[in-house]
A and B are shown apart, each in its own frame.
Chain A
């Protein structure tokens, strides 16, 4: 790592620095708002109000959060192994096929909770499969995984367009999409579930995959910090020499990790296809796969951090939509820019504030070289 090795207090490392990076990103975004002649504070107000101010808004925020948890976890698991999976978008897109096939095959015959395990499995398998090829090429042929996963995003998009247009499309339909699933292929919305037990809340696309996302967080946490496999993944990601020394099979680990990563990204399809849209449609991934990069960076690849970062991005997405209603000049593209800035400040320039903080928090630098 290129970071200066001086040690900072934990709360600075895991709390203050991400906060400062986020603040820097938001400040720059504020400047942009000023540039288009709007009031940044008002924008912040509508952002918060729109995402947390009322029931439907909260529902939407959590619905977006669900997507980001999945893609964030996908990037994080790979990152623990020292791999940069930039292909979450394509993996999730391809996983949509797995989810949709399960739903299309079963929705007429069995209730949703029986379809659900098949859809889950379908999404996971298809997502994993799409990640396996770049992983294999990295492990066995040394192809740079960043480049191959980028290429696979584009290839996934072509494959899915072909399938939707030529095979899955309803005859005579305008849209290249599959037919809409009936009840047996739809995850219940949270407002429906709560209605069954007598609680009425506002409608939103928030559905049971949110619970799946939270379970996935626990599972990823357990995987990384409580299993032998996770231990091997972290060892490989931190010190590959030590992994070889410890007799770990680095090629196999690379492939397995990427498969898990791809399966997690594939869960995005569960939320979108089975949970929200109830059909397979073009570009349903809508860039969520890329947001996962920002989420994992902000959340420092820890499930708890990822949940928090996902909520933050969920707020940005939902609040951003609201903002577009209230301040039409600030379109949702603002959110894309903020995302970019967060990735820039929290990722590429994450150490920008370190030297200054070291001066403040560390009086005499402790040496790294414990010889």
Chain B
């Protein structure tokens, strides 16, 4: 059927080279594949969330995909007002009959890049720089640590969060300082889950001749040869599928959990990082993928109990 989709990005904007950009890529791909036009909106402040959703709904847009956990409050208000409109939210669960909630097993993907990091590091030390200190980002960190320890039990993982407020997503200078500090302490690989702040992390790693690990989108190409890999979160797939499911009359509400098994998370493997991934590493990461999918390895989700045993 004909659909009239719309996307509301989070504050980072659709060109954040990360999370939102991934959503944008999905919408764009759908538009190119099917010739369907879509509308999107970049927020400038919190009150606009509701406004944008309501506005799109009123104008008859369907489905409306909202990106980011911060949209939850607004969506909880707007979705009931438009029971016939289909909404999807990424990264958060909103339990309403016309809302599809898509969440990812970031810990699984982080496990894989942690494993790669530990194998690539010569110093037995790796680092992690998070954005805002929230359970979601802790889950990234915890999976990463578990993966790294699995590859090298002696490894030391430095972990820093950029801040406690939204500004932490957009502070490349501080990200760079944190990464530098970890590198100065001996870290050979630094993984970031910090949105715009990550640009500073990857830059610092590249400047120091060390390796960075990107997040959300495939960031391998930002500093080719200096980014070990990226923990790709297939937000694009989630957005694409939301559009496609409605068009194909296969829409379902409820919670979609996308992990390794569902291809929802992955490690980025492309020509930019080919030389960095040895055969041994490749074999290990592929084995780990299989084991996780098979349930042989259980990656701990920080959000389940708010603790990280690693």
Q: Do these two chains interact?
A: yes
In the complex, the answer to whether B55 meets A325 with C-beta atoms within 8 Å is: yes
Chain A residues, CB < 8 A from B166: 282-283
**Which B residues are CB-close (under 8 A) to A176?**
164-165
Given A175-B70, A325-B41, also A60-B46 (CB < 8 A)? no
Instruction: Decide: B45 and A286 in contact? CB cutoff 8 A.
Output: yes
Pick the contact of B136 from A174, A276, A325 — CB < 8 Å?
Answer: A174
Contacts of B42 in A (CB 8 A): 324, 328, 331
Chain A 263-321 residues near chain B, CB threshold 8 A: 276-277, 279, 281-284, 286, 321
- Range, interface on chain B: 20 to 34
Q: How far is A321 from B42 in the complex, measured between Cα atoms in Å? A: 10
Q: Which residue of B lies closest to A64 (CB)?
A: B47
With an 8 A cutoff between CB atoms, is B287 at the interface? no
CB of A37 within 8 A of chain B? no
Residue of B46, B51, B52, B92 touching A174 (CB-CB under 8 A): B92
Residue A4 lies at the interface, judged by CB distance under 8 Å to chain B: no
CA–CA, A279 to B306, complex, Å? 24
**A335 → B minimal CB distance (Å):** 9
* 6 further contact pairs, Cβ within 8 A, besides A180-B73, A333-B44: A161-B165, A174-B70, A175-B69, A175-B70, A284-B46, A328-B42
> Cβ of A56 < 8 Å from any Cβ of B?
yes
Residues of A within 8 A of B55 (CB): 56, 325
Residue A203, interface by CB 8 Å: yes
Q: B44: which of A180, A281, A282, A324 is its contact (CB, 8 Å)?
A: A324
**B95 at interface (Cβ–Cβ under 8 A)?**
no
Chain B residue numbers with a CB within 8 Å of A175 are 69-70, 134
Contact B46 A286 (CB under 8 A): yes
Verify if B286 is at the interface (C-beta below 8 Å from A).
no
Give every chain B residue within 8 A of A98 (Cβ-Cβ).
none
Interface of B is mostly: helix
Closest beta carbon of chain A to B111's beta carbon, Å: 21
Residues on A facing B (Cβ under 8 Å): 56, 60, 161, 165, 171-172, 174-176, 180, 203, 205, 276-277, 279, 281-284, 286, 321, 324-325, 328, 331-333
**Residue A277 contacts which of B44, B46, B51, B69 (CB distance < 8 angstroms)?**
B46
Q: How far is the CA of A156 from the CA of B45 in the complex (A)?
A: 20
User: With an 8 A cutoff between CB atoms, is B48 at the interface?
Assistant: yes
User: Could you jot down 18 A-B contacts, CB within 8 Å?
Assistant: A161-B165, A171-B306, A174-B92, A175-B134, A176-B164, A176-B165, A203-B54, A205-B47, A205-B50, A282-B165, A283-B166, A284-B46, A286-B45, A286-B46, A321-B51, A324-B41, A324-B44, A332-B45
Cβ of B135 within 8 Å of any chain A Cβ, yes or no, is yes
Query: Across the interface, do A321 and B69 meet the contact criterion of CB distance under 8 Å?
Result: no
Given known contacts A56-B54, A282-B166, A331 and B44 CB-to-CB distance under 8 angstroms:
yes
The answer on a CB contact under 8 Å between B164 and A321 is no
B263 at the interface (CB under 8 A from A): no
Q: Which of chain B's residues has its CB closest to A161's CB?
A: B165
Q: For the complex, is B81 an interface residue (Cβ under 8 Å from A)?
A: yes
Q: How far is the CB of B207 from chain A (nearest CB, A)?
A: 30
CB contact under 8 A between A172 and B306, given known A203-B54, A324-B41, A325-B41:
yes
Q: Which chain B residue shows the least CB distance to A162? A: B164
Which are the 10 A-B pairs with shortest beta-carbon distances? A332-B44, A165-B164, A174-B134, A174-B69, A282-B165, A161-B165, A286-B45, A321-B48, A174-B136, A161-B164
CA distance A243 to B303 in the complex (A): 63
B72 vs chain A, min Cβ distance (A): 8
Output the least CB separation between A301 and chain B (Å): 27
Contact of A283 (CB < 8 Å), options: B164, B165, B303 = B165
User: In the assembled complex, how far is the CB of residue A325 from the closest CB belonging to chain B, in whole angstroms?
Assistant: 6
Contact B165 A165 (CB under 8 A): yes
Which residues 2-57 of B sit at the A interface, judged by CB distance below 8 A? 41-42, 44-48, 50-52, 54-55
Residues on the B chain within 8 Å of A283, using CB = 165-166
Give Cα distance in the complex from A290 to B48, angstroms. 20
Chain B 107-130 interface mask (CB, 8 Å, partner A; 1/0): 000000000000000000000000
Q: Which residues of chain A are within 8 angstroms of B44 by Cβ–Cβ distance? A: 321, 324, 331-333
Closest Cβ–Cβ distance, residue B254 to chain A (whole Å): 20
Residue among B46, B135, B306 facing the most chain A CB atoms (10 A cut-off): B46
Kindly state the separation between the CA atoms of A328 and B7 in the bound complex, as whole angstroms. Answer: 14
Are B46 and A281 in touch, CB under 8 angstroms?
Answer: yes
Question: For A205, what are the chain B residues with a Cβ–Cβ distance below 8 Å?
Answer: 47, 50
Which of A165, A283, A284, A321 has the most chain B CB atoms closer than 10 A to its own CB? Answer: A321
A331 to B14, CA, bound (A): 13
Q: Would B47 and A276 count as touching, CB distance under 8 A?
A: yes
Which chain A positions have C-beta within 8 A of B73? Answer: 180, 279
Residues of B within 8 A of A161 (CB): 164-165
Q: Which chain B residues (37-94) contact chain A, with CB distance < 8 Å?
A: 41-42, 44-48, 50-52, 54-55, 69-70, 73, 81, 92
- List chain A residues, Cβ under 8 A from B165: 161, 165, 176, 282-283
Given A56-B54, A203-B81, A286-B46, A174 contacting B135 (CB threshold 8 A): yes
Residue of B51, B52, B133 contacting most chain A CB atoms (<10 Å): B51
